[in-house]
């Protein structure tokens, strides 16, 4: 029975989610920062965008990997943006959840950029693929990787996609 439940989970929540969107324009808003200002992808480095929610266990497991990438490669080589989305409650409540999480991130000294997806606007454009949902966006805006879910098994293809995006940009190694 456990085996079937695990298979069901894998099929439902870790699908390769190549959405119809294949390009991410430089003017496309990823989310809003803590000041309510729009945040955009980098045009000089690859951008990793992960949609994330506080209630999502797999999102929390992915966070240390993303933070490690940001620390190792720095903002000069890669931009990692975690987008808070799909929180419970109305807009005011979800904004308070975001601000609370942001304070926790800042207290822990996290270097990844944490933004808010007002009314899940961007996430919904990807046809609600599941959480976490990670995109690798090359500096030219091409989405070279899209994946819903997270597990150790899925980490390797994600890291390979990030490395390929870095290779196109510089000689950096993960």
Helix (H, G, I), strand (E, B) or coil at 131: coil
Check residue 10 and give its pLDDT. Answer: 36
Mean pLDDT throughout 104-129? 90
| Domains delineated in the chain | 2-169 (3.40.30.10)
Q: Tell me the whole-structure pTM to 2 decimals.
A: 0.83
Contacts of 51 (CB under 8 A, 6+ apart): 83, 85, 86, 117, 122, 123, 126, 131, 132, 133, 134
Check residue 8 and give its pLDDT. Answer: 34
Check residue 91 and give its pLDDT. Answer: 81
Q: When comparing pLDDT for 5 and 157, which is higher?
A: 157
Check residue 171 and give its pLDDT. Answer: 56
Q: Would the pLDDT of 16 be above 90?
A: no
């Amino acid at each position: 029975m456990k085996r079937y439940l695990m298979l069901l989970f894998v099929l439902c929540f870790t699908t390769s989610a190549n959405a119809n969107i294949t390009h991410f324009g430089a003017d496309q808003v990823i989310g809003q920062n803590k000041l309510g200002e729009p945040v955009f992808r980098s045009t000089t480095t690859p951008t990793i965008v992960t949609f994330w929610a506080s209630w999502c266990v797999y999102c929390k497991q992915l966070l240390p990997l993303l933070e490690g990438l940001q620390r190792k490669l720095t903002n000069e080589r890669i931009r990692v943006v975690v987008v808070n989305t799909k929180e419970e409650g109305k807009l005011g409540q979800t904004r308070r959840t975001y601000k609370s999480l942001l304070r926790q991130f800042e207290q822990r000294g996290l270097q990844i950029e944490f933004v808010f997806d007002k009314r899940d606007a961007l996430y919904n454009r990807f046809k609600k693929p599941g959480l976490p949902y990670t995109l690798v966006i090359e500096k030219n805006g091409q989405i070279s990787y899209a994946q819903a879910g997270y597990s150790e098994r899925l980490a390797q293809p994600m890291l390979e996609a990030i490395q390929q995006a870095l290779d196109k940009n510089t000689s950096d190694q993960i």
